[in-house]
Amino acid sequence: MDSIIVTGNGPLKGQIPIAGAKNACLTLMPATLLSEEPLTLTNAPRLSDIKTMTDLLQSLGAEVTSLQGGKVLAMSSHDIHNHTADYDIVRKMRASILVLGPMLARDGRAVVSLPGGCAIGARPVDLHLKALEAMGAELELKEGYVHAKAPKGLKGGIVDFAFASVGATENALMAATLAKGTTVLNNAAREPEIVDLADCLRAMGAQIDGDGTSTITIQGVDRLNGATHPVVTDRIELGTYMLAPAIAGGEVELLGGKMSLIGAFCEKLDAAGIEVTETPAGLKVRRRDDRVRAVDVVTEPFPGFPTDLQAQMMALLCTADGTSVLEEKIFENRFMHAPELIRMGAKIDVQGGHATVTGVDRLKGAPVMATDLRASVSLILAGLAAEGETVVSRVYHLDRGYEHVVRKLSAVGANIERVSDR
């Protein structure tokens, strides 16, 4: 396994290009299963999760070709000869469950292993299953697999989500495009990735209204056609790299960034003393004063503060002036990065879903271990301003969600390298 070594060496300056969104791309890729015609995605991120979804789609019979160094994915599902998503692939990534709705909608049958992914809580798939049942699916759980069938096809229905689940909204949205009649999704997720999926599905001929709100209405159609669709900017990568100059100092421009993607996050940065300005090419970020101010953070579904930026924000607040409280309301077990930050000299007290962070003057470099995708990058951010050398191990998590981290941070002046474990 590889490690990443970071040595704090002062302010950052330059530009960082932001990739297409991992979470959007992983949702858009299964949409190919809804049509026999080609679906092409541009602005795709080059990540190990994309490779895993490619492997899964190919195992079902889809053709997936990576072009332009991985930034374009050309897909075709004209011959789906296998309707079982096997555990050996699905266990690697939670988004694998998103093949369930499209396969069921198109062919009336699917067998999908219960998924894996980062160990940040139970994240049950019951909301996915209840949504499909509301559309007439017959479901059975056997030996770790969801066995789903709809012999006469799915039919429109009313889906009332107990929680605004992004994944369940995406699965239901895709399934409803080919259901007979009208489907209404109540308490639907409102994330930009949902809007991006709806835009792609509309380009394929779907009839969808209300995406971006808590009520989405889908009028089923008989078939969907092919399309070419650009993947939306990755708001989590954007927020992550916005924190680099906030932590290390300096000024960095994030190419392709839009404030509308992360408004609540920008508000917290402003309260902490971080200036964010829009430019023709993206967003420019700099710290107003020598030290940031403490702020309280509560993670919430979009448009609230993203849970996927909580770990990175904690890294910033470790050296803030004052005491901050972070409340995690989306996933349990999502403060696993806290003990690693404590190894670097941070003062953090975790009690259930709350973490109290008392700022220190400076963190100290230390050997630390990544526990999940976002935790891994939070430790790298902390190392940018720490005294001495920080060695982050188990960085294979990082490859699931960030392309070329070392290259991007090095380009703005960070002292960072990736090495084989020593």
208 annotated ligand-binding residue:
no
Q: What's the rounded Cα separation, in Å, for the pair 243 and 316?
A: 7
> Does residue 22 have a known ligand-binding role?
yes
Is 11 annotated in a binding site? The answer is: no
Of the listed 25, 118, 200, 266, which one is catalytic?
118
**What residue has token string 């590889």?**
2
330 is in an annotated binding site: yes
200 classed as catalytic: no
Helix (H, G, I), strand (E, B) or coil at 250: strand
Coarse DSSP helix, strand, coil percentages of the chain, rounded to the nearest 5 percent: 35, 30, 35
- Is 94 annotated to bind a ligand? Reply is yes
Determine the Cα–Cα distance for residues 212 and 185; give it in Å rounded to an integer: 12
As a whole number of angstroms, the distance between CA 73 and CA 244 comes to: 30
Contact 153, 180 (CB under 8 A): yes
Characterize 124-158 residue by residue with b for buried, 16 or more Cβ atoms within 10 angstroms of its Cβ, and e for exposed: ebebbbbbbebbbbebeeeeebbebbbeebbbbbe
2 in a labelled binding site: no
Is 102 annotated as belonging to a binding site?
Answer: no
Confirm if 372 and 120 have CB atoms less than 8 A apart: yes
E-strand stretches of 72-176: 72-76, 84-85, 109-113, 138-142, 145-149, 158-160
Task: Tell me if 43 is assigned to a ligand binding site.
Answer: no
Q: Which residues carry out catalysis?
A: 118
Q: Which residues are annotated as a binding site for phosphoenolpyruvate?
A: 22-23
Q: Which residues are annotated as a binding site for UDP-N-acetyl-alpha-D-glucosamine?
A: 94, 123-127, 308, 330
| Binding-site residues | 22-23, 94, 123-127, 308, 330
